[in-house]
Amino acid sequence: MAASGTLAVSGMPAASATPVATTRGKNQFRTRVVLLGTSGGPPMVSMKRYGVSTAVVYKDRVYLVDLGLGSQMRLLEAGLGAEGFGGRAFSRVRGIFFTHLHSDHIAEWPAAYAVGSMNRIGLENPEPIHVFGPGDRGSLPRVFPPGREEPDLYNPENPTPGTVAMTGYLQQAFASDFNDRARDSNFDRPETTFSIHDIDLTGIWDVDSEGIPPRLSAPIQVWRDGEVTVSATLVDHRPTAPAFAYRFDTPDGSVVISGDTGVSENLIDLARDCDYLVHEVIDPQFAEDLAATLPPEIGPAVREHLLKSHTSIDQVGRDVAEVAGAKHLVLTHLVPGDTPVSRWRKASRGYSGRLTVGADLMSLGVGSPGGSRESSS
């Protein structure tokens, strides 16, 4: 497996390096990981960290995992749009992958869907951007704590829409804008700009109310785009389901992005010997402190969710990255985003690989400069 290079300040360890926008030395590595947004949400607590979003770049192709708040702006700041006249922000984007449908992971999708066709100007015969994500879970999550009165349903006719159905509602919401532009300017319709897919779990899992996924015997094959292969697995973000982690394999190495999850055997299997494991993390003290400030009818449920469906500082290196044999652990979806970096670095305890505390616009090279699988060290 390829060793991993890091675009960072010379002479500084990655864990303490100043973030570097991808426009600097962007051609050094053929495959890169670019952290567009590193904040967990939904609360936004710092302008230094935008909503969670990660780009995997291979040559001139960009693959986005999740679209947290502000991710379109970060895409431009990172230099991942194409050069030339007019709107080009999405010209290099080949695929978008949603780990799950919590708002902090999809907040920018409505905006991307609305303006996508106008941000690919100048492309000749453009292929659609393929979008993958969870389908309709088919069941409602359980109510917590047990015995509490069930709350009123939103959209009771279809209370758990998947990625395809969610996007269909966006067509309705933006109908006035889409009709204006189609009739006045003949811009491409969004359904020609984006090809939307629900990841099919037929024969794999019938999601129940608890949302605890089964152990998989093999990854789910999602998409192959030339030399880039994308696979997925089910992770444990109970009761939210289905929730996915994704693995990207290129000729230079492998990148795994966890999405939101507690410690997951499926994820460990997917991340075996990967070059980069980009993994969420939570400060458990934050969960305790937050619950204490909330009313008693809310606090315990929030604490339960945060501690059972996320991975703590003490767990992520020792219980996940080390067991998987991941060469380089990168922390993202930091909850809360304003926790001091020194506290996140404690995730290195019990982990023998390299640790990077993620920051917005940080760029990490996979393999060696020029695209070789040989070590760059």
309-333 burial by CB neighbour count: b if 16+ within 10 A, else e? bbbbbebbbbbbbbbbebbbbbbbb
Give the whole-angstrom CA distance, residue 307 versus residue 288. 9
Give the whole-angstrom CA distance, residue 115 versus residue 178. 10
CA angle 238, 239, 243 (to 5 degrees): 60
Residue 181 has pLDDT above 60, yes or no: yes
Residue 262 has pLDDT above 70, yes or no: yes
Question: What average pLDDT does range 254-279 have in this prediction?
Answer: 98
Greater confidence (56 vs 83) lies with 56
Residue 186 has pLDDT above 60, yes or no: yes
Query: How do residues 280-296 score in pLDDT, each as one tens digit?
Result: 999 998 888 888 988 88
Domains of the chain, by residue range, sit at: 14-144+156-367
């010209």: which residue's tokens?
91
Query: How do residues 296-348 score in pLDDT, each as one tens digit?
Result: 888 888 888 888 899 999 999 999 999 999 999 999 999 998 999 999 999 99
Q: What value does the CA radius of gyration of the chain take, rounded to a whole number of Å? A: 20
| CATH 3.60.15.10 describes domain 14-144+156-367 | yes
7-16 burial by CB neighbour count: b if 16+ within 10 A, else e? bbeeeeebbe
The predicted structure's pLDDT at residue 373? 59
* 40 contacts 336 by C-beta, under 8 angstroms: yes
Amino acid at 206: D
Give the whole-angstrom CA distance, residue 105 versus residue 29. 27
Give the whole-angstrom CA distance, residue 299 versus residue 346. 27
CB count within 10 Å of CB 170 equals 17
Greater confidence (211 vs 42) lies with 211
Query: How do residues 61-117 score in pLDDT, each as one tens digit?
Result: 999 999 999 999 999 999 999 887 777 899 999 999 999 999 999 999 999 999 998
Closest CA to 324 of 235, 238, 263: 263
Residue 216 has pLDDT above 90, yes or no: yes
pTM (predicted TM-score) = 0.90
The predicted structure's pLDDT at residue 15? 35
Give the whole-angstrom CA distance, residue 177 versus residue 183. 10
Residue 232 has pLDDT above 50, yes or no: yes
Closest CA to 131 of 266, 52, 246: 246
* 78 contacts 155 by C-beta, under 8 angstroms: no
CB count within 10 Å of CB 346 equals 13
Residue 214 has pLDDT above 60, yes or no: yes
Residue 370 has pLDDT above 60, yes or no: yes
Give the whole-angstrom CA distance, residue 217 versus residue 220. 10
Helix, strand or coil, per DSSP, at residue 153: coil
Greater confidence (87 vs 220) lies with 220
The predicted structure's pLDDT at residue 68? 97
Question: What average pLDDT does range 156-179 have in this prediction?
Answer: 97
The predicted structure's pLDDT at residue 175? 96
Question: What average pLDDT does range 192-206 have in this prediction?
Answer: 96
Give me the percent of the chain exceeding a pLDDT of 90: 73
Closest CA to 327 of 366, 280, 362: 366
